Amino acid sequence: MSIQQLPPELVNQIAAGEIIERPASVLKELLENALDAGAAAIRIELEAGGKRLLRVRDDGRGMSAADLEMAVRPHATSKIRSLDDLEQVATLGFRGEALPSIASVAALRLTSRCPDSDHGHCLDPQDPQSPRPAPHPPGTTVEARDLFHQVPARRKFLRTERTELRHIQELIRRVALGRPEVAFQVSHNGRELMHLPALSPEASGDRVRELMGAGFADAALRLDTEAAGMRLSGWLGLPTASRGQPDLQYVYLNGRMIRDRLVSQALRRAYADVLFKDRFAAYLLHLQIDPMQVDVNVHPTKHEVRFRDGGLVFDFLRRQVSRALAESGASAVVEGSNADPAGEGRVQQVSAAPAPRGPLPRAVEGQTGRLPLAEARALYATETAAEDIATPAAAPEDDADASVSSSMPRLGHAIAQIHGVYVLAESSRGLILVDMHAAHERIVYERLKQQYAAMSLAHQPLLVPVAVNVTPTEADRAEDNRAILDQLGLDVDRAGPEQLRIRGVPALLKDADAAGLLRDVLAELDNPGQDESSEVMEDRMSRLLGTMGCHGSVRANRRLTRPEQEALLRAMEETPNIDQCNHGRPTWVELDMAGLDRLFLRGR
């Protein structure tokens, strides 16, 4: 077959196959165009889950009659002019493919008016007399009817009306969460589904509460931090409010919705120490970065991006989120109670302080210049080094609370122990319950991590070596991983085909069951897999240290003296990530006086 030029309608169909999968895909492109046009209010009307009608009206800049004609031509756009523009795209759309692709699979009509025009114009690509004058307020209305009516093979792959509507609602939720300053109104088959007013930056949490639920809003940390020309802001769900699926994970890059593997892995690593296995964190995060440092021209759907320095972005996200989670524990300034059995309390909300800035990069100072990539990396290394050795400044306190705080520690003073499992403490706010094993497990784990990171894991030789009977496979595994065992502070050698001898343990675990500790560590070393990347090795060492931390913690049914109880509370106040143990279980809860009063119906 000879080479031939494809007809324009076939080119558009191919482009539509990449961009338009279902009604939600059409809506995504139209919403991005509306936002790029500066819309402050957007109205969306749907019929039959968007399959029969999808209409989007905005109050943006609008288009002239000449612009309307160009808008439906392939690769016609007002957003970029040159390759240089493509390398620093600041708009959501830029390809010029959306409207012609939609027109190739649906009946498209556009009506628009510029603010300085007396009237608008209406364009129907099927009408040779278009565009015609038409009444319209300033802004643009785009109608797409009968999606895939000319492509039956594509139409049969659409799901039920309810399913398609669910995809549309999730899309609108994602867009609205990213742009709280824009009002959204949505109706389906004549019934209003959603009405979201425009909000100021200070009130943006109201939209988070409405679209992500009160459960998330009440169990979230507010984050706002920056370093080396990057800024990260938004909300982090507490580990104790994790979910069984990743359905509340929203990330925006320079205002653009993204689903990026590098970003997801960085956030997963940040939560790794504080989540149950197979549990997922919830978060809503905005990442701002110099557009020159990211390529958004990777895929027609524009969900995927490529960073010029993925390692720098990965470390920034992991470090800042980990630090915010670590600083949100018992030693942080807290508003509301940590838990309320009556279901009416609020989980603590903590504002993470910005990271140490050092000299602000030029990209942050008024955007007067670009920060070279090498300079950004050097600056970030300086900032993070300073962060690692800095002592956090004391949080400011209200005068009314100063006298109480100075006399009463955050976790109060121990008053009792229940069944050898829980420690009770009286705080300035009410009653605190501590799971002593879970709390001590976190304390030991964090100390082990700190010593391991500093390559100074203290070693305690045993006066009498401990012989451990194992299988030949376990004995071989111990020999193969001798270097790792040494790094963990375990001095182990082979005493026979089925016996190992422990000559030393980490000093923090000197009272632990040495034989049980070794067996559990060997179990963690089983089947490490073929991937020996630094990330996988770091995860592996974290699991091993977590296993060791569990062995070093106080066991249930052990009676603690009052000084020991007090020491546990004070150690908790100095430990990062203390709100949950290594496995994600909560370590402490607080009942404030209002919560206690509700339990006994006081004041009712």
Q: What is the pLDDT of residue 353?
A: 37
**Given a cut of 60, is residue 263 above it in pLDDT?**
yes
Where is pLDDT greater, at 323 or 380? 323
Rounded to 5 degrees, what angle do the CA atoms 98, 99, 102 make?
85
| pLDDT confidence band for 540 (50 / 70 / 90) | confident
315 and 172 assigned to the same domain: no
Span 459-517, pLDDT tens digits: 899 999 999 999 999 999 999 999 899 989 999 999 999 999 999 999 989 888 899 99
Q: Write out the residue range of the structural domain in which residue 29 sits.
A: 8-199
CB neighbours (10 Å) of residue 290? 21
Where is pLDDT greater, at 530 or 593? 593
227 and 180 assigned to the same domain: no
Where is pLDDT greater, at 338 or 510? 510
CA distances from 390 to 231, 378, 387 (A): 20, 18, 5
| pLDDT confidence band for 552 (50 / 70 / 90) | confident
Where is pLDDT greater, at 538 or 319? 319
182 and 232 assigned to the same domain: no
222 and 287 assigned to the same domain: yes
Backbone angles phi, psi at 429, to 5 degrees: -100, -25
**Given a cut of 70, is residue 350 above it in pLDDT?**
no
- Would residue 395 count as lying in a domain? no
Q: Which residue is associated with the tokens 């490529």?
A: 306
586 and 459 assigned to the same domain: yes
Q: Is the pTM of this model over 0.85?
A: no
Environment class of residue 540 by beta-carbon count within 10 Å: exposed (0-12), middle (13-18) or buried (19+)?
middle
Q: What is the pLDDT of residue 91?
A: 67
Looking at 199, 222, 242, which one is the last position of a domain? 199
Q: What is the pLDDT of residue 84?
A: 60
Q: What is the pLDDT of residue 604?
A: 74
| pLDDT confidence band for 407 (50 / 70 / 90) | confident
| pLDDT confidence band for 248 (50 / 70 / 90) | very high
28 and 141 assigned to the same domain: yes
**Given a cut of 50, is residue 280 above it in pLDDT?**
yes
Question: Is the distance from CB of 321 to CB of 331 less than 8 angstroms?
Answer: no
- Would residue 294 count as lying in a domain? yes
Environment class of residue 511 by beta-carbon count within 10 Å: exposed (0-12), middle (13-18) or buried (19+)?
exposed
Q: What is the pLDDT of residue 392?
A: 38
- Between CA 103 and CA 18 the distance in angstroms is 14
Question: Is the distance from CB of 22 to CB of 144 less than 8 angstroms?
Answer: no
99 and 156 assigned to the same domain: yes
**Given a cut of 70, is residue 597 above it in pLDDT?**
yes
Q: What is the pLDDT of residue 129?
A: 81
- Would residue 336 count as lying in a domain? yes
Q: Looking at residues 89-112, what average pLDDT do you find? A: 81
236 and 340 assigned to the same domain: yes
| pLDDT confidence band for 518 (50 / 70 / 90) | very high
- Would residue 393 count as lying in a domain? no
Looking at 388, 422, 456, which one is the last position of a domain? 388
Q: What is the pLDDT of residue 291?
A: 84
- Would residue 400 count as lying in a domain? no
154 and 236 assigned to the same domain: no
Q: Tell me how many domains the chain contains.
A: 3
Least confident of 85-89, 152-156, 165-169, 216-220: 85-89
Q: Looking at residues 175-179, what average pLDDT do you find? A: 96
Q: What is the pLDDT of residue 554?
A: 77
- Between CA 326 and CA 395 the distance in angstroms is 15
Q: What is the pLDDT of residue 535?
A: 67
Q: Looking at residues 325-337, what average pLDDT do you find? A: 56
Q: Give the type of residue at 169.
A: Q
- Would residue 53 count as lying in a domain? yes
Q: What percent of the chain has pLDDT over 70?
A: 78
Q: What is the pLDDT of residue 364?
A: 34
Backbone angles phi, psi at 472, to 5 degrees: -55, -35
Least confident of 183-187, 401-405, 569-573: 401-405
Closest CA to 230 of 305, 304, 144, 292: 292
Closest CA to 345 of 578, 587, 580, 591: 591
173 and 242 assigned to the same domain: no
Question: Is the distance from CB of 58 to CB of 139 less than 8 angstroms?
Answer: yes
- Would residue 260 count as lying in a domain? yes
- Between CA 52 and CA 148 the distance in angstroms is 10
139 and 288 assigned to the same domain: no
Highest mean pLDDT: which of 323-337, 383-397, 529-543, 576-590?
576-590
CATH number at residue 347: 3.30.230.10
Where is pLDDT greater, at 283 or 408? 283
Looking at 153, 172, 199, which one is the last position of a domain? 199
Least confident of 342-346, 479-483, 528-532: 342-346
| pLDDT confidence band for 368 (50 / 70 / 90) | very low
189 and 49 assigned to the same domain: yes
CATH number at residue 107: 3.30.565.10
CATH number at residue 604: 3.30.1370.100
Least confident of 144-148, 194-198, 247-251, 360-364: 360-364
- Would residue 28 count as lying in a domain? yes
